[in-house]
Amino acid sequence: MSGGLKAKPSEPHGPAALAPRRPAYARIGDALRGAIETGRLAPGCVLAESAIAGMFRASRSPVRQAFAALEGAGLVHRFDGRGVVVGGAAPDRRLAVTPDLIGLDGGRGADEGWEPFYYELERDVILASLLGRVRVNEVALARHLGVGRTVARNLLLRAQGVGLVTKEGNGPWRVVPLDRTRIEHLYDLRLTLEPPLLRAAVGRIPPGGLAAMEARLAGAIAALPALDSAGLDILENDLHVACLGHGPNTEMAEALRRTRCVLVVGKHIQTALPGRPGIEPFMEEHRRVLQAVRAGDRDGACAALAEHLVLSKVKALTRLRDFQRSQPGPGPAYLIP
């Protein structure tokens, strides 16, 4: 697995560089759903937890979550075994389930299986960043994730690209503190850059793409409060990455990339707080922005986006205060005070 990533990956530019990292269960579920709906996985196919986890280089926990979502959609059903069966047919173990049927290459998970590791690293680092400056032990990180040093290093390089960690020369990796002042500064930067980027993007966004964004948003509103963090990532990406990415000023888009940490911090805090409160809805704010974009109302879109960012800033600061007051326990061993 240590060879899963190249030692010095090229950094993507433009909207792709800001795309959210999706958790393992969402990617596994999407891959299995696609294989079932296209008929590559026939009714009666047995999907075993251990086998699917191995194909995606994931633990069993995200596989179970993916199975639960597929069962809820009526695509699979449980049986007397550690797994599920496709469709409503009886289990038929003669039907082989191979990586190519799921759309994987040679048994390797999507993106060489590193994606779920980044999501875990992102969560741990962001929660640590709210409590002060800590170091990241690269060797301990590799051991914690069960990967090689090359994978661990490249995960940290990606986290560095969005401002979560930093490294000077041969010094140690350090988590960049995300305190009240930094959150305020990052939101000030977003308020400076996002409205003019959106103004330039209005009229450039393909109608089909805009309609798909509005449909996903409507689906999320209908699903509340049962909306997971992967769904949040998609909605945030639609407005704050995909829409803005249609503007012609790539330099402003690249500068905005440094603020992505405040896009993802909210979901991690909300799931870490005692009692695991539900997701705070922001969908109506997004809908007002997208409606103005569809109408070609540049002033209205910019005003709605600015209002949304101001409200988001207040929520982010409130979550930070609540998290710090909750006296969270120690983080993983690879994060050193």
Mean pLDDT, 10 residues at a time, over the chain (337 residues)?
37 37 76 83 88 81 84 84 82 81 57 64 89 89 85 86 85 91 94 96 91 87 70 82 88 84 78 61 90 97 97 90 82 90
**The domain boundary residue, chosen from 85, 111, 137:** 111
Rounded to the nearest 5 degrees, what angle is found at the Cα of 171, between the Cα atoms of 168 and 174? Answer: 75
pLDDT of residue 281: 67
pLDDT of residue 87: 86
CA 33/CA 40 separation, integer angstroms: 10
| 150/76 same-domain check | no
| 269/293 same-domain check | yes
The three-class DSSP label of residue 198 is helix
Q: Is residue 7 a part of any domain in this protein?
A: no
Domain that holds residue 83: 24-111
| 93/206 same-domain check | no
| 94/175 same-domain check | no
Whether 128 contacts 270, CB under 8 Å = no
pLDDT of residue 116: 63
Query: What is the secondary structure of 294-335 as a DSSP string?
Result: HTT-HHHHHHHHHHHHHHHHHHHHHHHHHHHHT------TTE
pLDDT of residue 312: 92
Whether 148 contacts 159, CB under 8 Å = no
Name the region of 39 (left: φ>0; alpha: ψ -120 to 50; beta: rest).
left
CA 256/CA 46 separation, integer angstroms: 45
CATH of the domain at 85: 1.10.10.10
pLDDT of residue 65: 84
CA 286/CA 184 separation, integer angstroms: 21
Give the helix ranges, DSSP H, for the chain.
24-37, 49-56, 60-72, 99-102, 115-129, 138-145, 149-161, 180-201, 207-223, 229-237, 250-256, 260-272, 283-294, 298-325
| 122/235 same-domain check | yes
pLDDT of residue 106: 45
pLDDT of residue 9: 37
| 72/122 same-domain check | no
Phi, psi (deg, nearest 5) at residue 209: -65, -40
Whether 247 contacts 194, CB under 8 Å = no
Phi, psi (deg, nearest 5) at residue 148: -85, 170
